Structure 1
Amino acid sequence: MPAYAVAHLHNVDINAGIVEYLRRIDGTLAPFGGRFLVHGGQQRAVEGPADGTVIVLEFPDYAAAQEWYASPEYQAILPLRTDNSVGVAVIAEHCGDDHVATDILPPEAVRG
């Protein structure tokens, strides 16, 4: 089941460090089956204060996403991003194709 690395970045300083990060990140993804799903393109916040950019990477599974993030290759370039932007990054597993919103509730809440 796929997993995703999702980042919401803002105040990105497009400088030599970010350029180097962007030049090198694809090479860190390939060994773990990672690929960009959302990176650039049109984005519009429809709720809340959300200036910046959302990035979504897909991996074959949760373990691959975790291994990519912890890999020496990615950790070597991570400061190039974190030193030049502000944001939040999350790794999350896919909920399954048959998921419905109430699946996250305890049984007693669904019955009520």
Structure 2
Amino acid sequence: MTAYAIARIGPADGPLHEEVLRYMERIQGTFAPYGGRFLVHFEQHELLEGDWHGAPVLVAFPDMDRARAWYKSPEYQEILPLRTRHLPGDIILVEGVPENYDATATAAQVRDAQA
């Protein structure tokens, strides 16, 4: 099942630091062994609800094991401080739903569990 790394990065206080730019130049190369690919990367976004500051990032991986392995990999851990020293962020890994997913079934399961 496809897994996703979802991040909110920043905002930056002024121009991006040179280390952050080096991180951006190198991150894509860390995906290859794990089958990862950017779906969204620092794109403009429209806030509809809530309080979202920073840039959205969405990376797809073939499965959760490979997503975890990418994040823990020596290659990614080596470049991670280039960003974290200068930009705050929130990152989660989440497994996607199957193609035939139906939210009504999930609602029924939650309703039953709460009864």
CA distance in 2, matches of 1:83, 1:9: 12
The normalised TM-score by structure 1 is 0.89
Deviation at 1:3, TM superposition (A): 0.5
The range that moved more, 68-77 or 98-107, is: 98-107
Counterpart pick for 2:109 among 80, 102, 107: 107
Mapping for residues 13-92 of structure 1, pairs under 5 Å: 14-92=16-94
1:37-94, CA deviations, whole angstroms, 9 ceiling, x for partnerless residues?
A: 0012321111111121110000111111000000000000111111111121000111
List gaps (5 residues or longer) in structure 2: none
CA distance in 2, matches of 1:108, 1:58: 27
What secondary structure does 1:21 align onto?
Answer: helix
CA distance in 2, matches of 1:41, 1:108: 34
Identity %: 40
Structure 1 40/108 Cα, relative in aligned 2: closer, same or farther at 3 Å? closer
Alignment match, 2:7: 7
C-alpha contact 1:102 1:110 (8 A) present in aligned 2: no
What secondary structure does 2:52 align onto?
Answer: coil
Q: What amino acid sits opposite 1:62 in the alignment?
A: M
Alignment match, 2:96: 94
List gaps (5 residues or longer) in structure 1: none
CA distance in 1, matches of 2:83, 2:63: 24
- Ranges of 4+ aligned residues in structure 1 off by more than 3 Å: 102-108
What secondary structure does 1:109 align onto?
Answer: helix
CA distance in 2, matches of 1:108, 1:48: 24
What secondary structure does 1:76 align onto?
Answer: helix
Deviation at 1:105, TM superposition (A): 4.7
The normalised TM-score by structure 2 is 0.86
What secondary structure does 1:37 align onto?
Answer: strand
Aligned residue pairs: how many? 112
